[in-house]
Chain A
């Protein structure tokens, strides 16, 4: 039986406001536990919430960027469940009137774009963080995160493959980065994702029984978990078994999902309107003002890169996907570098380095002028291709301008004829056999000799010049 896979995603993104959603506490990540708290976010008796207007404005900004309709009436609700990281034992959220709804994200595919509809975007407060020390029968609660503004973005079940889901997340993350409303750091938890997945026989209209998968700590985990779930559910269906409606947790070690709770155990959240926050209307003019201030969004930027810089669709896609890469690219181009070499450096060495070190591009703080300098050094003949790669690496490692590296470290290419002559002489002395082979017409032998000369000069010899010198010297010997 062939089945269609139906996937929907719920993304929680922490807004990077200075203060929390309902109080004046700092919302900074990484502060000492419980140092950013007050009666309001601690849920102390008598304390009352006051809405952070910046969070609201940013929520609307995201809604607009997703082409949603912004609700004319802003209303909050209480969602009840008992847990030690939730001090009031209810979360202030939005239930029946999310701040924005009915939007979409377009995924660029080969040839066609795929439209993923957004069901809703709503604001809510984050919970605290429970910390457990292994072997100790106690739990600790860090309330710094309690009350940090969260935006929940819920897609319609329009995704059909794990690759769709991955691409959707990449696109959504890029959008949020351009909107400048979140750090979007999955490791720090400022971007989180849950997914719903169900299978239905091809051609069937009604949706199958859906399973929610949580505990997904990276985009890769989302992809892996969806692939696992699709396989698990497919196997069950092909054996004629039923799918249980349940919530499952992804286990990143065993690479499988495990049942957490069934539908029967699901909580009754007893939503009701938050009486401490009076509903209020959002003026259309205020929404328009936020719309006017929307920055250039990824889709527009991709198009511009192709049109203005003649980049391929692929290059534009890769650069725009991560805002820090695009900013670096544009910065360098603005300083006069040619777009294509800049794109090549960023998409080549730079991204390889990031991937190898598992780093986010913004963490390296590479300045656009460094890339410009590097390209100038290569174009001007100061650095060979090999040396340029080395300098590039050193630049990333030490976060220093390549021009500076060349100046301080003798990394300049050796083009001085006398030195090159001496090196060539030494190489020929040491490898008389290869010299002979080349003289007999073996082209490979010359390659070997040049390689040795480069090695001897620690890569600094100008390879073109060295090749010429070696050719001449072998010729001279024969004569």
Chain B
């Protein structure tokens, strides 16, 4: 047995122990369950955890004889990934009680490699938010400071990994929902290239922006998980038939000579601590041999408004199905014969404030007479942003910027100010609009001891470059080894 508790270990540390039998999958699971039982109440990383179901799942996994790359390793998944037979609610009341009859493709791939799926990591309702406060099942707390948010919308996944309530996790990222909570919680969060990972079974927020990715304790684990979940899926027409490299094998390839671009960014609201940490990180990259140069990313200062048109338009369409007819919540009409009243009552009761706000916005921008001015214009700007990145990546291999302009903010601080909340994603959104991969890695702490994340972006399908540089940085620094001291509830 290692000195540290099994649940504190990484995937790559656990794998040899489990394969060699030094640690049994049951011991690992029980250790994790005990830790969750002790701390989930205080942090709300999971909406709920069905311990017996997990034990049964492990029993079946062991009986299957699979000894894959994730043999016996529990992997936590966000509550918007369909897990057969399990409740999948997107942290929304409107899907209360909904049990998916099928596994998402990523879940299937994790199972194939021997993983035990731990469902229901908390999130902002339908991934609408940057703080995990918009959950119908209560907010998640930041393990570094219970009074602060863990970021969002994959805040449950990030907090669980940071607090050793998870070994590794999957989240989804539509405008920063993996990277921003990763930076707030001092973990690694990777948003792959659009099309790199199948979205089949990911409950859609904005179909042209959503991407599933890993949240892990270090870069090697991120490479490990990405290797498992990436690749073409015939069930998802937008998944790319592009070969998946061995991300783990390429981690240690040399980084000297890599060209790193440092864009001029909108300066609005960036905290001095964040600026300090990112500047220091860039110096580390230079020391590692990267050639750093200033670059321009025109149009990315229009990212937020572009994003909130495209994303809400798609969301209003994707969420139309939650209307009380086929599954999930139904609030019957007083007048039983009124279909429209049933729709209205169901949607009024089932959706939270932010979901309603986004449905209204999206419906508006797609309406007759407004489409050209909003949606069409936004799509044109999106193309320009995409071109900006194409030009940038013709000059450099990696673009570096902060993940978030601030460290974790206080609970409730931005809840009443949606525009301020939306600004949390100012640096992350452009990667989704352009479809490029991006990773957030720990790069320091603020004066109030809150984690700060460094974001690296690469050209489409160049995740191995991101991971290689991130790994080199991680090897040269200690930030990712810091763990929060948890409080009791």
Contact = CB atoms under 8 A, between A and B. Distances in A.
B317 A80 contact: yes
Contact of A45 (B98, B235, B323, B339): B98
B307 interface: no
Nearest to A274: B207
Given A84-B325, A89-B320, A90-B317, 17 more contacts: A45-B95, A45-B100, A45-B204, A45-B321, A46-B81, A46-B200, A46-B203, A48-B236, A50-B234, A80-B320, A87-B321, A87-B326, A89-B321, A141-B326, A270-B366, A272-B317, A272-B375
Contacts of B299: none
Tell me which of B82, B326, B366 has the highest count of chain A C-beta atoms within 10 A of its own C-beta: B326
Contacts of B314: 272, 275
A170 interface: no
A48 B199 contact: yes
A127 interface: no
Contacts of B321: 43, 45, 87-89
Tell me which of A46, A51, A80, A275 has the highest count of chain B C-beta atoms within 10 A of its own C-beta: A46
Contacts of B323: 82, 89
B371 A272 contact: yes
Contact of A268 (B208, B343, B367): B367
Contacts of A275: 206-208, 238, 314
A270 B367 contact: yes
B237 A46 contact: no
A50 B366 CA distance: 24
A244 interface: no
Interface in A30-59: 39, 42-51
Contacts of B235: 48, 50
Interface of B: 80-82, 88, 90, 95, 98, 100-102, 104, 199-204, 206-208, 234-238, 313-314, 316-317, 320-321, 323, 325-327, 336-337, 339-340, 343, 363, 366-368, 371, 375
A145 interface: no
Q: Which applies to chain B's interface (DSSP): helix, strand, loop or mixed?
A: loop
13 contacts: A39-B100, A43-B321, A44-B102, A45-B88, A46-B82, A80-B317, A80-B366, A87-B325, A268-B367, A271-B366, A276-B207, A278-B237, A278-B238
A347 interface: no
Contacts of B366: 80, 270-272
Contacts of A51: 237
A78 interface: yes
Contacts of B199: 46, 48
Given A82-B320, A276-B237, A278-B237, A137 B337 contact: yes
Nearest to A42: B326
Contact of A46 (B201, B339, B343): B201
Contacts of B81: 46
A46 B317 contact: no
Interface residues of A, number: 29
A435 B286 CA distance: 128
Nearest to B319: A89
B237 A44 contact: no
A143 to B, nearest CB: 9
List the 10 closest A-B pairs by CB distance, nearest first: A89-B320, A275-B207, A270-B366, A275-B208, A45-B203, A46-B201, A46-B82, A268-B368, A84-B325, A88-B321
B120 to A, nearest CB: 15
Contacts of B90: 45
Given A44-B327, A87-B326, A137-B337, A276 B203 contact: no
Interface of A: 39, 42-51, 78, 80, 82, 84, 87-90, 137, 141, 268, 270-272, 275-278
A51 B326 CA distance: 24
Contacts of B80: 46
A92 to B, nearest CB: 11
Given A88-B321, A275-B207, A276-B237, A46 B202 contact: yes
A49 B237 CA distance: 7
B363 to A, nearest CB: 7
A46 B208 CA distance: 14
A21 to B, nearest CB: 13
Contacts of B204: 45-46, 276
Nearest to B314: A275
Nearest to B339: A84
A39 B336 CA distance: 28
A39 B101 contact: yes
A429 B208 CA distance: 96
A43 B98 CA distance: 13
Contacts of A48: 199-200, 235-238
A313 to B, nearest CB: 49
Contact of B101 (A44, A49, A82, A276): A44
Contacts of A272: 313-314, 317, 366, 371, 375
A90 B314 CA distance: 12
A141 B327 CA distance: 13
Nearest to B327: A44
B326 A46 contact: no
A278 B208 CA distance: 9
Nearest to A89: B320
Contacts of A49: 237
A277 B237 CA distance: 6
Contacts of B206: 275
A300 to B, nearest CB: 38
Contacts of A88: 320-321
B3 to A, nearest CB: 41
Contacts of A50: 234-237
Nearest to A143: B326
A404 to B, nearest CB: 52
A90 B313 CA distance: 13
Given A39-B101, A46-B104, A82 B343 contact: yes
A272 B340 CA distance: 24
Contacts of A82: 320, 323, 340, 343
A68 B102 CA distance: 42
Nearest to B343: A82
A272 B372 CA distance: 11
A39 B234 contact: no
Contacts of B101: 39, 44
A275 B238 CA distance: 8
Contacts of B340: 82
Contacts of B95: 45
B71 to A, nearest CB: 26
A88 B201 CA distance: 15
Contacts of A270: 316-317, 363, 366-368, 371
B317 A276 contact: no
A36 B398 CA distance: 49
